[in-house]
Structure 1
Amino acid sequence: MKKHIFYMAMAALSLAVFPSCEDTLTETPDSSYDKDSFFESEANADMAVMGIYSSISDYRHYGWYEMAGQASDDMYYTSRTHSDNTIHDMVHYRVTSTNEWVEWLWQLKYQGIDRANMAIDGIVNMPGYAESENLQELDAEARFLRAFLAFDLIKYWGDVPFKTTYTSNYEDAFGARVSREEIYDQIIEDLNFAKEHLPWADASSSPERATQGAARAMLMRVYLQRAGYSLQMDRQMTRPDDTKRAEYFNAVISEWEAIQANGYHDFYSGGYEQLFRNFSQDVLNSQESIFEIAFFHQQGARNGGAWGIYNGPSVAEVQGVPTSEMANYMGRANGFFIVVPEWRDFFEETDVRRDVSICTYRFIWNTDSMKHVKQERNAGSWYPGKWRREWMPTETWNKNMNYGDVNYCVLRYADVVLMAAEAYNETGNTTEAWNLLNRVRARAGATEYTDANYEELMATRKATHDLTFIDDGSAQGRFRTALYWERGFELAFEGERKFDLIRWGVLGDALRLFGSQSSVNRGTNAAYPAYQNFVDGKNELLPIPLVEIQSNPNYEGKNNPGY
């Protein structure tokens, strides 16, 4: 079962941090520690690192709000279209610089980076650091988390203020934009340090803490994103020149080879469905799950995560049951996210990923039997199914109806295999690229690609959803087309799809293709309006929160393009 390794430390820790440029944050909390006297023991250094983890485990960060930042893509959207200045406006590309969730994401990412800066500075300057492997490992863990959060900044906002020193006063919090290329350099430096000083995972490891495999897998993701397209301040989507791209792809392959040489990480031996049941059941598995963000909440507390509750099948609220018996029922799941239904037909019948990824039912409350009853739904009302309230341990069902203890897996071995496959294809070794992609398909029970069956396997998809924005007239192009679909099949709703489409330079094209063809948009009111609202040269990035633009003179009043 899951070991909630962070929460004793998080309960004890309240470091004086500076997460955002707001006057309310200039006061030092009564319960905070003085930085200069805090780093006096390895236990306190470990506590400082736990404070970084607590930023990403906040329910307003990766527990909930991050779900909105990762959507919409060509696979899912939210079930409501009204304007709310939070989740629905973000997902439907109506986001503005005053969006409350964007502000929280911005603050929490900077809070985590500032905590990392404090931890790194404090640990490095501890007596005996140069001789202590434990302190160097904690330093590496903090650098991994700083890199992780800095990468989020680039993906969401592009060029942003960034520094590697702790913000000890209000004036120092104001910084000018830093080129994303400089930030990328620091991210790679941090991850290279992390991979040299963190241990490899083994069967006794918890994926809730960074390991060498996590650092190397994160480097692969960073290099692929850096090699791809990104939106610049002049509203142009650009990518590095071919020489630089080749350098980045070769770096991906180097990290992949190291992971393979170590030999521990692999596909989970219990099968695809059980892999995801394990996430909902709080079972840790460090073989395929390389890095997870941990969530846990106390009875009745407003914390934890919403995985499987906001992005899983709907479960109706229990009615008319005595409080003493509530623990016997599932509680509630809002089911905010809906699957673009056409995707279900693109999976092969034998592909086990289809019925794990796409849930076609919900649970309604039957007042006669006083039970939850499973109810099948029509296309256009299906849910992401990788996390489900029904799979969660019974003891977590009613601690809080809106939150759960389901971890979010950020880095998974199957994703690493597909990243390596992409890099091999882009460096001309398309044969090895197909070998790796077919390993993923074989685990899922899907037909492996060959030269002879490529067109047959693509026929159903091309009939209605021909990817005209990807040229498959060459061997590399055919692999890119197959990879477009395969990353969807394998990694649906896991948070990477939107950023894949951005780095490939096709997010707007994909939204328009799937939005215009979807059955959910054939009425007068489009349920999936992202394709109508998306603006090329704008919505590839989020707006910087207006409060930051107004309070930081270094922005000169300029937000991201189009905002």
Structure 2
Amino acid sequence: MKSVYYKISLLAVALMTLISCKEEFLEEFPKGVVTIETLSDEAGADLLLIGAYSVIDGYSQGGPGGAGEASATNWVWGDVPSDDMHRGDQTGGWSAINLIERYEVDPTNPWLEGLWAANYDGVARANDVLRVLRNAGDAIPTDRANQLEAEARWLRAWFHFQLRSKIERVPYVTEDVVGSEIPNDREIWDDIEADLQWGIDNNMDETPSDVGRASRWAAKALKARVHLFQQEWAEARPILDDIINNGPFSLMPHFYDNHDEEKQNNEESIFEVQYTVNDGAGFANAGADHRTLFPRGADVGLCCAYSAPTFDLFNAFKVDANGLPLLDTFQDNLLLEDYGLLDTEAFTPTTETLDPRVDWTIGRRGIPFLDWGPMSGGDWMLDQAGMGPFLNKKIMFYKRNFRDISIATPTWSAGLNGNNWRLFRLSHVILWRAEVAAEENDLPTAMNLVNQIRERAQDDIVMGRISNTTFASGDPIVIDENQPAANYNLGLYTSFPDRDYALKAVRHEMRLEFALEGMRFQDLVRWGIDGETISNYLDSELANGRLNWIQGATYQAGKNDHFPIPQSQIDLRPDVLTQDPSY
């Protein structure tokens, strides 16, 4: 099957080819100019649509989002301000992200500018498709025109969702308005829903022939997510049920299958951001929006160890004797692993029993890091004292695929790779449906759906018990491949005694299943528990002077739960845009 994720420069070549091949060969166009008339047919509209898809990762080489400010992984806006992730690397680089983690963002933060510009660039591209479709009229068959319009509307909805989930008041820009004249004086959730519903109502393809195109199921998944942000449980419920009961999706056998580069576009996936490498397009399509999240150190040699899981997240994987989470007490007796130790100093990983998903999610000392060998500790990062002792394992690829799935051309960011980002998958939908059930006090349904996800992961054991207590250069690695790497247990719930317990269990399950996937902070906010959760997290995480550079950080509910409009945009349109009063 074909992929729709092409480099933008290829789109330009295709457009110029389209111009040169017009039958009206005596009609002259100014050189280098593409007109709306030139593009007003099926081929032109689809090429423009591919151009809109090309920025769904939030990255445009040489354009908006070039540092990853609008990354589809949402690590900066969804993980860093949450209780799941520290920025990582060293505190001297990318200071704008430090301010996000410390809840000290102001309207001049340059990452806000990138977030805004990259997403509105995507909106503009989607609107270009819709304008061409209007101009083409009957030149494009109705069914095909509807499909192209449905995809363009889905993309427009997605880019606006990326903005609205972070900034409370943003303009909704459509194809029939002048974008710079649209104020941010109203809520836009209904506009996002309307664009998605248009595709659902107009026979959007359920199984597109091209990998990477949005389907009607992707429209339903995003629409359900939008309802959840508004606490519209009754509206979300039938959509989620439809995807679960009637969609062509099934859970993959193993938890990590959804992060394994060898299992992309699998049967659990509803929509994936497509990444490619070594295809002649350079690195623009190779996950450049998150190119700094991979481990450092001689054992791997990638860059740059951003995206560091917190102590709090690691401890959230603790379980009781029945393999159930410690919902209220996981922060007690916080496990710090090898924090503060050199790789040459003796250390043994905790023997406490953990949910096995922990070691598919978090890289830690003395545990196999996929097939890269055991993580040896602080030498895999620059600043263990400032970022903590953990690494993001979900973002990594297998060593056996190095230079095949990763970029073959040497670059400072050797971790660039073609492993897709799973934007929507069935496990999301199942736990969202469990959330709705818990909110509506349908406790048996909530428990059964949570158990469905937990049962899938019960046997996902990381194998390879490592005996080494130090990892000095030249130390032989002693490993028993027939033994689990740590002590694991994952049990199933036998009851949800009341609604409060059910909500706590569902939310904790979402944290474990979707950790480091850019969802946590916005989930805390939409649940209305961000203030208490983040404050408790800071007290626990920073106790005893840990992580010195974050000391003194405080979270202000009602302000830090969203971000301001970039000041540059206010300055450009002072009579159109209104800054959030909290800022």
Do these two structures clear the TM 0.5 threshold for a shared fold by scoring above it?
Answer: yes
Q: Flag the 1:101–1:307 CA change in 2: closer, same or farther, 3 A.
A: closer
Is the 8 Å Cα contact of residues 264 and 419 (structure 2) preserved in structure 1?
A: no
SS of 1:338's partner is: strand
Kindly state the Cα deviation for residue 411 of structure 1 after the two structures are TM-superposed: 0.9
**One-letter amino acid of the structure 2 residue matched with residue 543 of structure 1:** P
Q: Flag the 1:536–1:209 CA change in 2: closer, same or farther, 3 A.
A: same
Kindly state the Cα deviation for residue 160 of structure 1 after the two structures are TM-superposed: 1.6
Q: Flag the 1:331–1:5 CA change in 2: closer, same or farther, 3 A.
A: farther
SS of 1:337's partner is: strand
Q: Who is 1:154 aligned against? A: 164
Q: Flag the 1:483–1:386 CA change in 2: closer, same or farther, 3 A.
A: same
Q: Who is 1:20 aligned against? A: none
Q: Who is 2:453 aligned against? A: 440
Per-residue Cα deviation, 1:3-42 (whole angstroms, up to 9, x for no partner): 64321666224999xxxxxxxxxxxx98562224312x21
Per-residue Cα deviation, 1:250-295 (whole angstroms, up to 9, x for no partner): 22111122213324112113x11233123xx4x4224212112223
Q: Flag the 1:398–1:167 CA change in 2: closer, same or farther, 3 A.
A: farther
**TM-score, normalising length: structure 2:** 0.74
**One-letter amino acid of the structure 2 residue matched with residue 54 of structure 1:** S
Q: Who is 2:485 aligned against? A: none
Larger Rg over CA atoms: 2
Q: Who is 1:5 aligned against? A: 4
Q: Flag the 1:442–1:7 CA change in 2: closer, same or farther, 3 A.
A: same
Q: Flag the 1:513–1:82 CA change in 2: closer, same or farther, 3 A.
A: farther
Kindly state the Cα deviation for residue 516 of structure 1 after the two structures are TM-superposed: 1.1
Is the 8 Å Cα contact of residues 446 and 506 (structure 2) preserved in structure 1?
A: no
Structure 1 unmatched runs, 5+? 17-28, 228-247, 319-329, 364-371, 455-473
* Matches of 1:542 and 1:210, distance apart in 2: 28
Corresponding residue to 1:382 among 386, 390, 403: 390
* Matches of 1:398 and 1:147, distance apart in 2: 35
Kindly state the Cα deviation for residue 103 of structure 1 after the two structures are TM-superposed: 0.5
* Matches of 1:160 and 1:273, distance apart in 2: 36
Superposition map of 1:521-532 within 5 A: 521-523=543-545, 525-526=547-548, 528-529=550-551, 532=553
**Which protein has the bigger helix share?**
1
Q: Flag the 1:350–1:157 CA change in 2: closer, same or farther, 3 A.
A: closer
* Matches of 1:129 and 1:300, distance apart in 2: 32
Superposition map of 1:158-237 within 5 A: 158-165=168-175, 173-180=180-187, 183-196=188-201, 197-201=203-207, 206=211, 208-227=212-231
Superposition map of 1:155-554 within 5 A: 155-165=165-175, 173-180=180-187, 183-196=188-201, 197-201=203-207, 206=211, 208-227=212-231, 248-269=232-253, 271-278=254-261, 281=262, 283-297=263-277, 301=282, 303=284, 304-306=286-288, 309-312=291-294, 314-316=295-297, 331-347=301-317, 348=319, 349=353, 351-361=355-365, 374-377=374-377, 380-391=388-399, 392-395=401-404, 396-399=406-409, 400-402=411-413, 403-445=416-458, 446-451=490-495, 475-518=498-541, 521-523=543-545, 525-526=547-548, 528-529=550-551, 532-554=553-575
**One-letter amino acid of the structure 2 residue matched with residue 150 of structure 1:** H
Q: Flag the 1:277–1:83 CA change in 2: closer, same or farther, 3 A.
A: closer
The RMSD of aligned alpha carbons is 3.2
* Matches of 1:10 and 1:209, distance apart in 2: 20
* Matches of 1:292 and 1:385, distance apart in 2: 19
Q: Give the total of aligned pairs.
A: 474
Is the 8 Å Cα contact of residues 133 and 145 (structure 2) preserved in structure 1?
A: yes
**One-letter amino acid of the structure 2 residue matched with residue 72 of structure 1:** P
**One-letter amino acid of the structure 2 residue matched with residue 201 of structure 1:** T
Corresponding residue to 1:78 among 80, 83, 87: 87
Is the 8 Å Cα contact of residues 295 and 407 (structure 1) preserved in structure 2?
A: yes
Kindly state the Cα deviation for residue 93 of structure 1 after the two structures are TM-superposed: 2.0
Moved more, 388-397 or 248-257: 388-397
* Matches of 1:82 and 1:287, distance apart in 2: 42
Structure 2 unmatched runs, 5+? 16-29, 320-352, 379-383, 459-489
Moved more, 56-65 or 352-361: 56-65
Q: Who is 1:470 aligned against? A: none
**TM-score, normalising length: structure 1:** 0.76
* Matches of 1:534 and 1:286, distance apart in 2: 39
* Matches of 2:545 and 2:559, distance apart in 1: 27
Kindly state the Cα deviation for residue 184 of structure 1 after the two structures are TM-superposed: 1.2
**One-letter amino acid of the structure 2 residue matched with residue 409 of structure 1:** R
* Matches of 1:292 and 1:376, distance apart in 2: 32
**One-letter amino acid of the structure 1 residue matched with residue 251 of structure 2:** F
* Matches of 1:150 and 1:15, distance apart in 2: 28
* Matches of 1:93 and 1:338, distance apart in 2: 17
Is the 8 Å Cα contact of residues 268 and 288 (structure 1) preserved in structure 2?
A: yes
Superposition map of 1:65-144 within 5 A: 65=69, 66=71, 67-70=75-78, 71-79=80-88, 80-82=90-92, 84-128=94-138, 131-144=141-154
Using the aligned pairs only, state the percent identity: 24
Q: Flag the 1:507–1:177 CA change in 2: closer, same or farther, 3 A.
A: same
* Matches of 2:366 and 2:10, distance apart in 1: 36
Is the 8 Å Cα contact of residues 52 and 116 (structure 1) preserved in structure 2?
A: yes
* Matches of 2:546 and 2:7, distance apart in 1: 52
**One-letter amino acid of the structure 1 residue matched with residue 260 of structure 2:** R
Per-residue Cα deviation, 1:127-173 (whole angstroms, up to 9, x for no partner): 337852122111101111111111122111111222212566xxx52
Q: Flag the 1:521–1:62 CA change in 2: closer, same or farther, 3 A.
A: farther
